[in-house]
Amino acid sequence: MKRVRFQRFLYLSLAGAVAAAAGCSGTSSGSNTGGGGGGGSTANVQAITVNTGPTAAPPLNSPYINGAFTSVTVCAPASATTCQTIGGILVDTGSSGLRILSSALTISLPQQTASNGNPIVECLPFVNGITWGPVQTADMTIAGEQAKALPIQVIGSSNFPTIPNACTSFGAPEDDLSTLGANGILGVGNFAQDCGTACTMSGASNPGLYYTCPAAGCQVTAQSLSSQVQNPIVLFPKDNNGLIIQLPSVTGSETSVSGSMIFGIGTQTNNGLGSATVYTIDPSSGNLTTVFNNVTYQDAGFLDSGSNAIYFLDSNTTGMPTCADATFWYCPATTQNFSATNRGANGASGPVNFSVGNADSLTAAATVGVANGLGGPNPGTFDWGLPFFYGRNVYTAIEGQNTPAGTGPYVAY
C-alpha cells in the first residue's frame, strides 16, 4: 500500500519536473539519434534547469535548492520502442554513472549478471548516504548523443529489498524521491567508472561496492571496469571526452534558471576551450588545491555540481556563524565577499571570487530553487558546489580521454 501511494506521487512529480524542464520536449521517444546526415555536427546541447525539482510538488512539498536538473531517455538495449524519457535527473560532476529510482522507471531493462548467472547489485557510497540497487543495461540518449549498452544503477528495486549491513555501514540509504531529492542522478564527473580498479580486485583490497545476489544472499564480488556503472559520455561514439556546464549569473535568489550541458571538449564548433584555464587534478582523488587567506589546502578542493552550496572551511576560519536552525549553512548578517585561489597539479592557478549570504534569508521563500551565495561549513576542504557554476562555463575532462588541451582528467573554466 505504501508502495502504491508512493508511485502515484512520483508520477505526479515526474510530470511536474518534465513540464518544468525548459527545452525538454517529448515524453517518449523511439530513436532520436539526431546525428544528422552529411557527417556534420551532432546535436550535442542538452537543456538543464535549476529549479525546485521533483520534490517540490505535493506530497513532499520540499523544494530542492540549487539542483541542476535535466532529462534522459533510456531504452532497452537495441529497442526503438521500449523507451522512456525521465525528467528531474540531477546533473552531478561529483560522481560518474547514471542512477535512476526504480519508482521513476516504468520500462523493464535487462539485469546484469555475473558469469555464474547471479544478478549484480551495487552499493554506491555518496558523501551523505548510499544508493543500493541492481545494475541493469540500457541504451541512453541525451541531446543527440547515445551510450549503447550502458550499465546503470536502478535504485531501490523491490527485487533486492535487503541492503547488506556492510553497505549501510557507509551511510543511510537514499532510495526514494524524498531521500535522493531527484528521480535519478546523471554522474558526469572526471572518472570513467564509478569505482575504478579497486572494484576489480578480490579479497580485502575490494572496497565492497559490487555484489552478486543469489537468493541465498548478497556477497561482495569483483567487477570488471567495463561492467561497472560508468560515465555515459565515455560510451558516446563522439563528443566523448567530457562536457561543459553553462549556467547564467545569478544574483541572490531566483525561482529557476536555464542553462546547457554541451558534450565534448574541442570536438565541435560549440565546445572549444576558448580562454578557459585548464586545471589538472590529482588522477586518484580528482581534487585540486585551494589557497585561502594564505593557507594552502593541498588536494582538498573539487568542483561538484551535485553539491547545493559552496561548502568550505569553518566558522572560525571564515568569520561567519552558521545558521541557528541549519548548522550546515552559513548565516552572516550581511553578504561576505571572499577570494580564494584554485591551483591545478599542472601549476595553473587563478582567483575565485565568491560571496556568501545569509542562508536563512536566501532560502526563506518556498519558491526559491536557485540561491547564489549559499555557503556552508566543510572543515579543511573546499567543495565548489553549484553556486560556483553560476556565470561560468565549467569544463570537465574525463580521465584517459584526449582533448585539445591534453589527456583528462582536468577541469577548466
Partner 1 sequence: MNSRITHGIFAMLLLPFPASASLGGDVTSVQTDQAKMQGSLRTSSNNTYTIHEIQASTGVAVKEYVSPAGKVFAVTWQGPFHPDLRQLLGTYFDQFSQAEQAQRSQRRGHGPVLIQQAGLVVQISGHLRSFLGKAYVPQMLPAGVHAEDIR
Q: Which is nearer to partner 1, 55 or 70 (CB)?
A: 55
Give least dist CB 231 to partner 1, A.
12
For residues 211 and 135, give the distance between their C-alpha atoms in angstroms, rounded to a whole number. Answer: 10
Residue 178 falls in which region: left (phi positive, over 0), alpha (psi -120 to 50) or beta? alpha
> Is 400:190 a contact under the CB 8 Å cutoff?
no
Q: How far apart are CA 231 and CA 98, in angstroms?
A: 7
The interface with partner 1 within residues 63-122 (CB under 8 A) comprises 63-67, 90, 94-96
Cβ 20 to partner 1, closest distance in Å?
A: 16
- The burial of 276, by beta-carbon neighbours within 10 Å (0-12 exposed, 13-18 middle, 19 or more buried), is given as middle
> What does the per-residue mask of binding to partner 1 show for 371-410, with x meaning CB under 8 A?
-----xxxxxx-x-x-------------------------
The helix or strand, by DSSP H or E, that contains position 138, with its residue range, turns out to be: strand 129-142
Residue pointed to by grid coordinates 549553512 = 329
In this chain, which of 132, 160, 191, 354 binds partner 1, going by CB under 8 A?
191
**Cα 364 vs. chain centroid, distance in angstroms?**
26
Question: Which one of 7-15, 178-186, 233-241, 336-344 is the stretch in contact with partner 1 (CB under 8 A)?
Answer: 178-186
Report in angstroms how near the CB of residue 132 gets to partner 1 at its nearest. Answer: 14
255-294 binders of partner 1 (CB under 8 A): 284-287
Q: Which is nearer to partner 1, 25 or 298 (CB)?
A: 298
Q: Is 307 in the site for partner 1 (CB under 8 A)?
A: yes
Parallel/antiparallel/unpaired status of strands 375-376 and 310-313: parallel
Number of residues near partner 1 (by CB under 8 A): 66
Distance CA 14, CA 160 (A): 24
Q: Residue 295, Cβ neighbours under 10 Å: how many?
A: 10
Window 135-174: residues binding partner 1 (CB under 8 A): 165-166, 168-172, 174
Q: Are strands 184-188 and 96-101 parallel, antiparallel or unpaired?
A: antiparallel
| Among candidate residues 17, 35, 146, the one with its CA nearest the CA of residue 83 | 146
Distance of closest approach, residue 315 Cβ to partner 1, in angstroms? 10
Q: Which is nearer to partner 1, 118 or 302 (CB)?
A: 302
CB of 370 to partner 1, least distance (A): 11
Q: Determine if 367 is a binding residue for partner 1 (CB under 8 A).
A: no
CB 136 to partner 1: min, Å: 20
Q: CA 6 to CA 10: how far, in whole Å?
A: 6
Residues 178/179/185/189 CA torsion (nearest 10 deg): 150
Binding residue for partner 1, selected from 75, 86, 140, 195, defined by CB under 8 A: 195
Q: Does 35 bind partner 1 (CB under 8 A)?
A: no
Find the binding residues for partner 1 in span 210-249 (CB under 8 A): none
Residues in contact with partner 1 by the rule CB under 8 A:
55, 62-67, 90, 94-96, 124-129, 165-166, 168-172, 174, 178-179, 181, 189, 191, 194-196, 198, 203-209, 284-287, 300, 302, 304, 306-309, 311, 326-329, 363, 376-381, 383, 385
